[in-house]
Amino acid sequence: MAKINANYDKLSAGYLFPEIAKRTRKFQQLYPNVRVLRLGIGDTTEPLPPAVIDGLYEGVKKLANRESYTGYGDYEGNLELREALKAQYQAAGVDLDVSEIFVSDGAKPDSGNIQSVFATDNVIAIQDPAYPVYVDTNVIAGRTGLYNQETKQYDGIIYMPCTEENGFFSDVPGQKVDLIYLCSPNNPTGAVATKMQLKSFVEYARTHKSVIIFDAAYSDYIRDSEIPTSIFQVEGAKECAIEINSFSKSAGFTGVRLGWSVVPKSLAVLDAPAGKVNALWARRQCTFFNGASNVVQAGGLAVLSPLGRQECRKIIDYYMENAAIIRDGLLALGLTVYGGDNAPYIWLKTPGNISSWDFFDKLLREANVVGTPGSGFGPHGEGFFRLSAFGHRENVEMAVENIKQNLRL
Ligand code: PGU
């Protein structure tokens, strides 16, 4: 008789964003005439710029005749695209070989799948709060114990609390761990890691032969030139880190789907020669994944062209102006607000210490604005709330106005 993977039953709740969508639908059914303003999921809303559309068309046109038609591509991604990514890293002071770059269909699949090349008895450390994929995929893989209803933590995971006191970036773990998930600019807190902070993690990882999985999906939102856009800007990181990134937030590819991971050949792990993790990721990808869409990769190449970059930058600036509008509006109300400087997320403290989900209901009811409860990202997210800056300007402005006028504080 077939048995299910019982680890799924350990998951404490449904995936966060469908849960929010469900509650929003229910509200909308009750109040069909209310205009609900969505600042919940971090999903881009602006159309793709002309250079990128042209790139995608080029990809389509190549499929229209025999000479330029291509079917399955390289599992690791189109070489030209990997060369362009390599050049982008080079401009940021990071030298990579193209064989260290793996193109994928996004940072979510990569950040969820990467754990599969590591042993199940590795101890993992995760920022708390964090993008839920890191915890959930490790639960499903059997790398944790049960969910503890009291602590709201899974047994076996080392949580690194990200709090107001530490500026939402914790110190290195107090004990030895094997895999460390870091995200900067951070989802959900909007905090960024300084070079010194990343250096301390790189030193920790090299000492303990741990591997850092660094999610840089929002790197293009960094405004402060002192903040690293890649962990590989820290010396020694190529011996201890994997980096994951995406075209979703930098180029509006949330629905188009394209991302990449960097698995350095020099990554050192216990009992395996240098190059082993790179080889395992290549093996994993060519077994489970048939390469990113050729049309989409042509679009990705256009994103990385000088014109594409320029056009995408304008859209990022637009979202960052949204972030400033949200932040300033909430500050004017006297709320405690973080993030929004180097990230498209605003992280606010719920007024009157009410729970994150109570604030979700209150904000929806009183201001008709949908956001994301901080507790959905981990126990230290309780009492906080995330607002996304990825909306259309008029919706963002209306949301802030509604909050100002109608939220009862
Ligand atoms: N990594 C981080 C840190 C993210 O916040 C997100 C998206 C991704 C990866 C996904 O990148 P893709 O390249 O598009 O796969 N976070 C959004 C969307 C929610 C979701 O389920 O991915 C958010 O609102 O947190």
Q: Are strands 372-373 and 369-370 parallel, antiparallel or unpaired?
A: unpaired
Measured between alpha carbons, how far is 19 from 287 in angstroms, rounded to an integer?
32
Q: How many CB atoms lie within 10 A of CB 72?
A: 8
Choice from 41, 44, 131, 387 to test ligand 1 binding pocket (greatest atom count within 8 A of CB): 131
Query: What is the spatial distance between Cα 385 and Cα 293, in angstroms, rounded to a whole number?
Result: 36
User: Model confidence at 315, in pLDDT bands (50, 70, 90)?
Assistant: very high
Say how far residue 407 (Cα) sits from the centre of its chain.
30
Hey, what are 379's tokens? 């126990």
Judge residue 83's burial from the number of C-beta atoms within 10 Å of its C-beta, 0-12 exposed, 13-18 middle, 19 or more buried: middle
Instruction: For residues 119 and 125, give the distance between their C-alpha atoms in angstroms, rounded to a whole number.
Output: 15
Task: Quick: pLDDT tens for 152-178.
Answer: 999 999 999 999 999 999 999 999 999
- Residue closest via CA to ligand 1's atom 22 equals 108
Output phi, psi for 54, to 5 deg.
Answer: -60, -45
Question: Is pLDDT of 217 > 80?
Answer: yes
Tell me which fold the domain 6-47+308-406 belongs to.
Aspartate Aminotransferase, domain 1 (3.90.1150)
Domain boundaries, the chain: 6-47+308-406, 52-305
**Is the per-residue pLDDT at 130 higher than 80?**
yes
CB of 220 closer than 6 angstroms to any ligand 1 atom: no
Residue-averaged pLDDT of the chain: 97
Q: Is the CB of 17 under 6 A from ligand 1?
A: yes
Give the pLDDT score at 155: 97
Number of Cβ within a 10 Å radius of residue 272: 12
The pLDDT of residue 120: 96
Pick the atom of ligand 1 nearest to 108's CA: 15
pTM of this prediction exceeds 0.85: yes
Sign for the CA dihedral angle at 280, 281, 283, 287 comes to: positive
Q: DSSP label at 48?
A: P
Atom number, ligand 1, closest to the C-alpha of residue 188: 25
Name which of 79-93, 112-126, 194-208, 266-280 the model is least confident about. 266-280
3-state SS of 311-326 is: HHHHHHHHHHHHHHHH
Question: Hey, how many other C-beta atoms are within 10 angstroms of the C-beta on 231?
Answer: 28
Alpha carbon nearest to ligand 1 atom 8, residue: 108
| Residue 215 in contact with ligand 1 by CB distance below 6 A | yes
Question: Quick one: which atom of ligand 1 is closest to the CA of 186?
Answer: 3
Amino acid at 88: Q
| Residue 106 near ligand 1, beta carbon < 6 Å | yes
Question: Which pLDDT does position 324 carry in this prediction?
Answer: 98
Q: Rounding to the nearest 10 degrees, give the CA dihedral for residues 378, 128, 340, 406.
A: 30
For tokens 């042993």, the residue is 119
Read off the pLDDT band of 25 (50, 70, 90). Answer: very high
In angstroms, what is the span from residue 109 Cα to ligand 1's centroid?
10
Task: Look at residue 268 in the predicted model and tell me its pLDDT.
Answer: 86
H or E element, residue 357: helix 356-367
In order, the DSSP letters of 103-132 are EES-HHHHHHHGGGGS-TT--EEEEES--H
Assign a CATH topology to domain 52-305: Aspartate Aminotransferase; domain 2 (3.40.640)
Share of the chain above pLDDT 90, in %: 96
In angstroms, what is the span from residue 315 Cα to ligand 1's centroid?
A: 18
Distance of CA 42 from the midpoint of ligand 1 (Å): 7
Using the mean position of ligand 1's atoms as its centre, give its distance from the Cα of residue 70 in Å. 30
Q: Is there an atom of ligand 1 within 6 Å of 249 CB? A: no
Confidence of residue 15 (pLDDT cuts 50, 70, 90): confident
376 lines ligand 1 (CB under 6 A): no
pLDDT above 90 (res 13): no
Task: Report which DSSP code applies to 380.
Answer: G
Average pLDDT value for residue range 124-145: 97
Average pLDDT over residues 201-226: 97
Q: How confident is the model at residue 19 (pLDDT cuts 50, 70, 90)?
A: confident
Q: Ligand 1: which of 24, 38, 108, 388 to mutate, most ligand atoms within 8 Å of CB?
A: 108
Residue 206's pLDDT is what? 96
Grade residue 16 by pLDDT with cuts at 50, 70 and 90: confident
Is it true that 6-47+308-406 and 52-305 share their CATH fold?
no
| pLDDT level of residue 390 (50, 70, 90 thresholds) | very high
Distance CA 139, CA 146 (A): 9
Averaged pLDDT for residues 113-131: 97
Q: Is the pLDDT of residue 17 over 90?
A: no
Note the Cα 114 to chain centre separation in Å. Answer: 14
